[in-house]
Amino acid sequence: MASTLALQPQAVSAPGKVFVAGGYLVLDRKYTALVFGLDARIHVEIEPIRTKSGVTLSEIIVRSPQFREAAWEYGYRLTEGDGGIAVTQLRASHASSLNSNPFIETALTYALTYISTLQSSPLAPSSISILADQPYYSNPGVPLSPSSPFLDFSVALSDAHKTGLGSSAALVTAFTAAVLSYYLPREKFDVESEQGKTVLHNLSQASHCAAQGKVGSGFDIASAVYGSCLYRRFSPSLLSTLPPPGAESFATQLRALVEGSTWDVEIAKAKVKMPKGLRLVMCDVDCGSQTPGMVKKVLKWREENPQEADRIWGELQRGNEAVAEELTRLATEGGADYGRLKDIIAGNRKLIREMSKASDVPIEPPQQTQLLDACSAVPGVVGGVVPGAGGYDAIVLLLEDKEEVIGELRKVVEGWKVDGEGEDGVTIGKVGILGVREDMVGVRRENVEIYKEWITETA
């Protein structure tokens, strides 16, 4: 077993995301999406397992200490036929049941397999802790201490209520980056270098898609790695020839895919800037949407009405690019005239409502239209949208970064009430402002000291 003396604790965080423009369009490579990273992050800390003298382990223990019974133990071994590292979940005892987590298990399998192609020394056991910033969950929680940046949610992970900020992509990205940073020397992987980010992006996309059981557009992984960006998806066929873990040549093919030049993804950070006087705000709506069903219905409508769909999508693409261009212009030239930006956002919303009506999918349902109109009428609010696939999830607003604007907005949303149900039988419940804003920075190293009070050492 490799000595743990040379392995130093590592910590990495990755941001959540909000999909400001390009919902549905992002599924097609002809179009782009405007994605903002958020300052709510998923943190992953990894360190050697502490064992009693003479005791050796061959396992990796993963914990999410903010939740009850959120621990996973994995054994691992190098397979034959270049099949990579096989990861097997272990039972803590014969009486305990297996509580699987496909995102952690798949990310661990892919990361360890990639590492095994770069070095031949055996992998030492390790202990991994996952921590989430408060805005990812609407559950009330308490800090362990007055200085703790994290909350103890005191519920099982299955009982946690997500707010839809992209936790699985941020988790896979931060987890993969932490494992690579821990087991590989910096000359082979440096999360702060452009090459390191490219490897991390490609490896995280591959494992995230495998964990989901489908090839998604990947915008959430891109923003977790790079932060706010203008994104054009990769071709789904890139991942179609990769064999499953354990299959012959999986390890070699995974490394070739991750390090190769075949990725046709386009991630333009320089095309997205936030003007100094503006910020993003998200308002959590106590209601939810079935995104997969909505996506299928919109794509069916597009297939059956190509002429109408292509017209709307083309106009939306121009509007989405215009939002990014106007934000960047304001950030570069300065000034506080947001009239053009307000008009662009209003125009995009009109097109979204047109697509919503034509496809009979609640992308911007009437209840959300009323809420957005009321928020947009607050002095200092430039405009807003129902992000991503739309529906009844949180709305996102662009507004002047002033306390008085936030104060007036808070009065509107905290007193918000829609009388009766909508035509679709959905009633919007309580609306509240989430404690998040934009973050232009993607994945980053963190100081391991900030996690110490949360980490339980293994005896």
Domains (ranges, CATH) in the chain? 10-269+440-454 (3.30.230.10), 278-433 (3.30.70.890)
User: What integer pLDDT is reported at residue 98 of this predicted model?
Assistant: 72
Alpha-carbon gap, residue 268 to 271, rounded angstroms: 6
Quote the crossing angle between the two packed helices 194-212 and 102-116, to the nearest 10°.
130
Per-residue pLDDT of the chain (459 residues; tens, 9 = 90+): 344 457 899 999 999 999 899 989 999 999 999 999 999 999 999 999 876 555 556 799 999 999 998 999 999 999 999 999 999 998 765 555 678 899 999 999 999 999 999 998 889 999 999 999 988 888 888 988 888 889 999 898 888 888 778 889 999 999 999 999 999 999 999 999 999 999 999 999 999 999 999 888 999 999 999 999 999 999 999 998 899 999 999 999 999 999 999 999 999 988 889 999 999 999 988 665 556 688 899 999 999 999 999 999 999 999 999 999 999 999 999 888 999 999 999 999 999 999 999 999 999 999 899 999 999 999 999 999 999 888 887 899 999 999 999 999 999 998 887 655 555 556 666 788 988 999 999 999 999 999 999 986 433
User: What integer pLDDT is reported at residue 144 of this predicted model?
Assistant: 85
Per-residue burial over 320-347, b = 16 or more CB atoms within 10 Å of its CB, e = otherwise: bbbbbbbbbebeeeeeeebeebbebbeb
Would you tell me how many other CB atoms lie within 10 Å of the CB of residue 221?
31
User: What integer pLDDT is reported at residue 173 of this predicted model?
Assistant: 98
User: What integer pLDDT is reported at residue 87 of this predicted model?
Assistant: 94
Backbone φ and ψ of 402, nearest 5°: -135, 140
3-state secondary structure the chain: CCCCCCCCCEEEEEEEEEEEECCCHHHCCCCCEEEEEEEEEEEEEEEECCCCCCCCCCEEEEECCCCECCEEEEEEEECCCCCCEEEEEECCCCCCCCCCCHHHHHHHHHHHHHHHCCCCCCCCCEEEEEEECHHHECCCCEECCCCCCCEECCCEHHHCCECCCCHHHHHHHHHHHHHHHHHCCCCCCCCCCHHHHHHHHHHHHHHHHHHHCCCCCCHHHHHHHHCCEEEECCCHHHHCCCCCCCCCCHHHHHHHHHHCCCCCCEEECCCCCCCCCEEEEEEEECCCCCHHHHHHHHHHHHHHCHHHHHHHHHHHHHHHHHHHHHHHHHHHHCCCCCHHHHHHHHHHHHHHHHHHHHHCCCCCCHHHHHHHHHHHCCCCEEEEECCCCCCCCCEEEEEECCHHHHHHHHHHHHCCCCCCCCCCCCCCCCEEECCCCECCCCCEECCHHHHHHHCCCCC
List, in sequence order, every residue forming a beta bridge with 229; answer none if it has no partner.
Answer: 35
Alpha-carbon gap, residue 303 to 289, rounded angstroms: 22
User: What integer pLDDT is reported at residue 290 of this predicted model?
Assistant: 54
Would you tell me how many other CB atoms lie within 10 Å of the CB of residue 146?
5
User: What integer pLDDT is reported at residue 306 of this predicted model?
Assistant: 94
User: What integer pLDDT is reported at residue 440 of this predicted model?
Assistant: 92
Q: Which of 153, 207, 156 is nearest to 179 (CA)?
A: 207
